[in-house]
């Protein structure tokens, strides 16, 4: 908690036992769907580690989605469908075991060569049958830049269904097969920056939200990168997206975090950590993990108490009304 107010984290990824990863390898090796059964006791062992990390970082509730590098959207459609259902069933199992700590965010069976009609049935299952609150959207499903930009009609079936169901879409890229980046370890992180930034520009400067005024989209990691022009610039002007486009603050570099809050605006930013995830490296000034973000945000001097409450609690509730019930 933050001063007796619940801290709501919109950016969390599932934690699973080793058998889950082995199952994905079996799918790829056999090139055919294969059933997976996960006992509650086995999952609970992994979840206790996850919950300890949340408790250590003062996180009360987390919106829990797939681990993006494990979405495997490069798989053939018959495998992706099976893997997607397995992942979502495990997320639902996690929420069932700890309904006061987690809300579910779905993996979608995205395949670059298929438009997003392919995703509608699974989104509907997750929202209606599993009780999820949204889904992850990978703007570059095959990691090779072959899918159209997020403003394209390719995405309209998903947007239409998400708007109908009240599902929040979280833009989170995944694996990258750009040969220029192969020399870099963990090069999917560079893919995150570029794809999130491009998605932010396309959502901001095209007619997506005019077509789908009830659609809510979060772009992870504060939008990947920041704008280098003023919002009033007539070349790159941005319309009012205050009810549609949001950004989580899963950002571990302090100066970037502060500038992102100023540029995006207090009402458009939501608390997010990815904990437990890639932010375990210690901060040089405190020695605490990078994803221990509550004290970092609390220390930002230009934020008022009201601003901090918005980031930690009120803004996540505005985007995900179900959070207000936990």
Whether the predicted pLDDT of 236 surpasses 70 = no
Whether the predicted pLDDT of 232 surpasses 80 = no
Q: In this structure, what token pair is assigned to residue 183?
A: 């020399």
Residue that the structure tokens 């990390």 belong to: 53
User: 120-129, 259-268, 275-284: which range is least confident on average?
Assistant: 275-284
Task: Judge contact between 125 and 86, C-beta under 8 A.
Answer: no
Share of residues in the chain with pLDDT > 70 (%)? 97
Of the options 3.20.20.140, 3.40.50.720, 3.40.50.300, 3.30.460.80, the CATH number for the domain spanning 8-325: 3.20.20.140
Name residues whose C-beta falls within 8 Å of residue 7's C-beta, 6 or more positions apart in sequence: 1, 58, 59, 60, 61, 271, 294, 312, 313
Q: In what order do the strands lie in the sheet with 217-219?
A: 8-13, 61-65, 102-106, 134-137, 168-171, 217-219, 245-248, 269-270
- pLDDT band, very low/low/confident/very high, at 48 (cuts 50, 70, 90): very high
pLDDT in tens, 150-182: 999 999 999 999 999 999 999 999 988 888 988
User: 21-35, 46-60, 296-310: which range is least confident on average?
Assistant: 21-35
Pairing of strands 61-65, 102-106: parallel
- pLDDT band, very low/low/confident/very high, at 242 (cuts 50, 70, 90): very high
| Residue 187 pLDDT | 80
Q: Per-domain residue ranges for the chain?
A: 8-325
> Whole-model pTM?
0.95
Q: In this structure, what token pair is assigned to residue 290?
A: 């990078």
pLDDT in tens, 179-201: 898 898 888 888 889 999 999 99
Residue 37 to residue 14: CA distance in whole angstroms: 16
Share of residues in the chain with pLDDT > 90 (%)? 80
Length of the chain: 326
pLDDT in tens, 51-99: 999 999 999 999 999 999 999 999 889 999 999 999 999 999 999 999 9
Whether the predicted pLDDT of 234 surpasses 70 = no
CB atoms closer than 10 angstroms to residue 210? 9
| Residue 283 pLDDT | 83
- pLDDT band, very low/low/confident/very high, at 144 (cuts 50, 70, 90): very high
E strands, the chain, where? Answer: 8-13, 61-65, 102-106, 134-137, 168-171, 217-219, 245-248, 269-270
Residue 294 to residue 167: CA distance in whole angstroms: 27
């Amino acid at each position: 908690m933050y001063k007796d107010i619940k801290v709501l984290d919109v950016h969390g990824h599932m934690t699973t036992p080793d058998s889950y990863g082995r199952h994905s390898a079996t799918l790829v090796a056999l090139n055919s769907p294969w059933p997976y059964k996960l006992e509650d006791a086995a999952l609970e062992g992994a979840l206790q580690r996850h919950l300890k990390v949340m408790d250590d970082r003062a996180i009360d509730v987390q919106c829990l989605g797939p681990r993006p590098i494990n979405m495997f959207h490069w798989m053939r459609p018959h495998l992706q469908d099976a893997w997607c259902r397995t992942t979502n069933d495990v997320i639902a199992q996690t929420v069932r075991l700890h309904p006061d700590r987690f809300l579910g965010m779905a993996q979608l069976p995205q395949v670059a060569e298929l438009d997003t009609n392919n995703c509608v049935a699974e989104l509907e299952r997750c929202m209606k049958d599993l009780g999820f609150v949204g889904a992850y959207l990978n703007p570059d499903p095959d990691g090779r830049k072959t899918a159209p930009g997020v403003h394209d009609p390719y995405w309209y079936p998903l947007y239409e269904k998400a708007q109908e169901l009240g599902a929040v879409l979280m833009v989170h890229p995944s694996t990258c097969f750009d040969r220029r980046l192969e020399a870099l370890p963990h090069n999917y992180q560079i893919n995150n920056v570029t794809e999130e930034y491009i998605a932010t520009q396309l959502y901001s400067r095209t007619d997506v939200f005019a077509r789908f005024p009830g659609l809510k989209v979060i772009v992870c990691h504060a939008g990947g990168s920041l704008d280098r022009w003023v919002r009033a610039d007539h070349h790159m002007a941005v319309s009012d997206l205050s009810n549609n486009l949001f950004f989580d603050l899963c950002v571990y570099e302090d100066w970037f975090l502060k500038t992102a809050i100023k540029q995006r605006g207090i009402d458009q930013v939501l608390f997010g950590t990815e904990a437990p995830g890639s932010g375990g490296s210690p901060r040089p000034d405190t020695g605490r993990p990078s994803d221990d973000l509550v004290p970092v945000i609390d220390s930002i001097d230009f934020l008022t108490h009201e601003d901090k409450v918005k980031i930690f609690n009120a803004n996540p509730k505005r985007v995900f009304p179900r959070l207000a019930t936990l």
